[in-house]
């Protein structure tokens, strides 16, 4: 994309293209979850039992298992893998909730270690849930796709641009092979938000001109204790993996680990297109000793047609947890605040609704595609763009530079080489970046 500002007529045309592009995807999903994206695939699974394997049984992993078992009554948990042995205790809780739907061979298909992902893949499963520490996601995803599996990949699925390009390649291969892929950006599967965006794309507030979004929490998730509490026998790598949210190398920092939900909603409103430019600010109000992830970001995105989108995110205890969107159109605006959504024209609310996160709904869509022999893939031209936008904003904040779309997609920075990584691998966190001094790589 060029840095040159377009003419007014070009801007109007580009905005119409944005709306048209978005309506093909999210609006179609709102009408029928089996319409887009889909193509002819192998015979569907029908009513057969679908064997599910999970890699990473932390909080999100156990949650994803519950979600897919709830969404499809003919799924069973077949295999479990994690790098931490203590996570296997969660299987008994899943067994109690879903009686008769856990069959891991009496524990024979409980795999522990850095190669557990491959053992789960090779165990005879139909669907893989990838929910371990995000740094492993491109490696695990490629292995699952290469093995011909349908895959759920929890967000974030890439922490740097080389990792994102790997995921994009694997997603394209999955689509061409007839394998479905689902990503864990659950606000896209909220029934209320799906209906709101269908109405926006139908023109109820005119052309979308700008979006202001926020995603704030009351504190860092899984905040790392003081480093003095690290057991002497525990390696630096094991300690860091247990508190991965605190390290950009393992979790991607706040824009990817947490704020991605709000940034994704912003991208949805703006037509799922990579902005032409971004500048940003961020830092630590309450730093964590020996960690390097920031607790706040303020991002400004400029699109090729002259539109702008702003995002504000923070994770600071005791602060107002503002999360939502204001989408301004040429004829009105849309407001999403928490679970409540509305459309406003001429100062009057013309439509409103409410609805929670789409944890179960997304898995219904996913498994329905598999059973009907259709391919579902929400990575290509949708959530790959969201991840690029998150990385772009984080990097703009770190460097203090005005970054273009071409610049960010040319980044060669690889945070951690996950292949061959183990608890004995040396790990030292990067120094926290200094805007204006940290260089773009």
- What percent of the chain shows pLDDT beyond 90? 88
| 220, 341: one domain | yes
Instruction: Return the higher-pLDDT residue of 10 and 381.
Output: 381
- Average pLDDT along the chain: 91
Establish if 415 belongs to a structural domain: no
Once rounded to an integer, what is the mean pLDDT over residues 188-196? 97
Strands (E), 285-411: 296-302, 308-315, 323-329, 333-337, 340-345, 348-354, 403-404
pLDDT value of position 43: 66
| 163, 235: one domain | no
Establish if 242 belongs to a structural domain: yes
Once rounded to an integer, what is the mean pLDDT over residues 299-308? 98
Instruction: Return the higher-pLDDT residue of 399 and 11.
Output: 399
What is the rounded distance in angstroms from the CA atom of residue 197 to the CA atom of residue 267? 12
| 226, 131: one domain | no
pLDDT value of position 47: 84
Establish if 425 belongs to a structural domain: no
β-bridge partners, 270? none
The pLDDT tens digits for 248-283 are 999 999 999 999 999 999 999 999 999 999 999 999
Establish if 363 belongs to a structural domain: no
| 199, 141: one domain | no
| 16, 136: one domain | no
Establish if 2 belongs to a structural domain: no
| 315, 261: one domain | yes
Establish if 331 belongs to a structural domain: yes
pLDDT of 369 above 50: yes
Choose the final residue of a domain: 166, 187, 208. Answer: 187
CATH number at residue 290: 3.30.360.10
Which of 34-48, 126-140, 152-166, 361-375 shows the lowest per-residue confidence on average (mean pLDDT)? 34-48
pLDDT value of position 34: 39
Once rounded to an integer, what is the mean pLDDT over residues 303-326? 96
What is the rounded distance in angstroms from the CA atom of residue 79 to the CA atom of residue 413? 34
| 276, 340: one domain | yes
What is the rounded distance in angstroms from the CA atom of residue 114 to the CA atom of residue 136? 10
What is the rounded distance in angstroms from the CA atom of residue 201 to the CA atom of residue 26? 9
pLDDT value of position 322: 87
Instruction: Return the higher-pLDDT residue of 34 and 183.
Output: 183
| 226, 247: one domain | yes
Establish if 284 belongs to a structural domain: yes
| 215, 352: one domain | yes
Once rounded to an integer, what is the mean pLDDT over residues 142-150? 98
| 162, 195: one domain | no
Q: Collect all residues with Cβ–Cβ distance below 8 Å to 222 and sequence separation of at least 6.
A: 243, 244, 245, 246
H or E, element range at 212: strand 208-217
Q: Which domain holds residue 308?
A: 8-30+191-356+380-409
Choose the final residue of a domain: 148, 165, 187. Answer: 187
H or E, element range at 210: strand 208-217
Residue with tokens 């994206």: 37
Task: Indicate the pLDDT class of residue 153, thresholds 50, 70 and 90.
Answer: very high
Count: domains in the chain? 2
Once rounded to an integer, what is the mean pLDDT over residues 131-149? 98
Choose the final residue of a domain: 187, 211, 241. Answer: 187
pLDDT of 172 above 70: yes
| 249, 170: one domain | no
| 207, 269: one domain | yes
3-state secondary structure of 333: strand
What is the rounded distance in angstroms from the CA atom of residue 350 to the CA atom of residue 348? 6
Contact status, residue 205 vs residue 329, Cβ threshold 8 Å: yes
The pLDDT tens digits for 91-115 are 999 999 999 999 999 999 999 999 9
- The DSSP call for residue 80 is E
Once rounded to an integer, what is the mean pLDDT over residues 172-192? 97
CATH number at residue 142: 3.40.50.720
Establish if 429 belongs to a structural domain: no
Instruction: Return the higher-pLDDT residue of 23 and 83.
Output: 83
DSSP code per residue over 364-396: HHHHHHHHHTB--BSIIIIIHHHHHHHHHHHHH
Work out the burial of residue 339: count CB atoms within 10 Å of its CB; fewer than 13 is exposed, 13-18 middle, 19 or more buried: middle
């Amino acid at each position: 994309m060029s840095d040159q500002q377009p003419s007014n007529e070009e801007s109007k045309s580009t905005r119409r293209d944005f709306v048209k592009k978005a309506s093909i995807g999210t609006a179609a999903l709102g009408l029928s979850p089996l319409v887009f994206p889909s193509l002819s695939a192998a015979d569907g699974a029908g009513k057969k039992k679908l064997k599910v394997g999970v890699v990473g049984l932390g909080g999100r992993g156990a949650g994803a298992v519950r979600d897919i078992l709830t969404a499809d009554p003919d799924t069973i948990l077949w295999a479990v893998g994690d790098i931490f042995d203590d996570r296997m205790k969660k299987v008994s809780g899943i067994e109690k909730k879903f009686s008769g739907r856990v069959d891991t061979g009496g524990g024979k298909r409980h795999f522990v270690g850095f190669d557990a992902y491959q053992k789960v893949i090779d165990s005879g499963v139909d669907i893989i849930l990838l929910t371990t520490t995000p740094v492993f996601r491109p490696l695990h995803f490629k292995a699952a796709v290469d093995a011909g599996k349908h895959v759920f990949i929890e967000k974030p699925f890439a922490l740097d641009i080389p990792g994102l390009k790997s995921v994009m390649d694997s997603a394209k291969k999955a689509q061409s092979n007839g394998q479905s892929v689902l990503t864990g950006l659950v606000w896209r599967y909220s029934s209320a938000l799906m209906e709101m965006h269908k109405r926006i794309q139908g023109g109820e507030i005119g052309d979308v001109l700008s979006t202001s979004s926020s995603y704030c929490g009351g504190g860092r998730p899984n905040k790392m204790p003081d480093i003095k509490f690290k057991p002497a026998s525990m390696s630096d790598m094991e300690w860091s993996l247990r508190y991965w949210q605190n390290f950009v190398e393992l979790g991607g920092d706040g824009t990817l680990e947490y704020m991605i939900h709000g940034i994704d909603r912003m991208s949805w409103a703006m037509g799922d297109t990579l902005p032409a430019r971004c500048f940003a600010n961020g830092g630590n109000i309450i730093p964590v000793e020996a960690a390097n992830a920031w607790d706040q970001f303020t991002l400004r995105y400029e699109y090729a047609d002259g539109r702008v989108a702003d995002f504000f995110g923070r994770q600071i205890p005791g602060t107002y947890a503002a999360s939502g969107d204001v989408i301004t159109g040429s004829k009105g605006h849309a407001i999403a605040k928490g679970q409540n959504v509305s459309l406003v024209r001429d100062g009057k609310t013309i439509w409103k609704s409410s609805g929670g996160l789409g944890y179960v709904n997304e898995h219904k869509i996913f498994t329905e595609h598999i059973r009907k022999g259709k391919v579902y893939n929400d990575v290509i031209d949708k959530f790959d763009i969201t991840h690029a936008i998150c990385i772009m904003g984080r990097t703009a904040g770190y460097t203090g530079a005005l970054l273009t779309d071409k610049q960010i997609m040319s980044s060669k920075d690889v945070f951690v080489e996950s292949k061959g990584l183990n608890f004995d691998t040396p790990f030292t966190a990067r120094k926290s970046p200094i805007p204006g001094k940290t260089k773009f790589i």
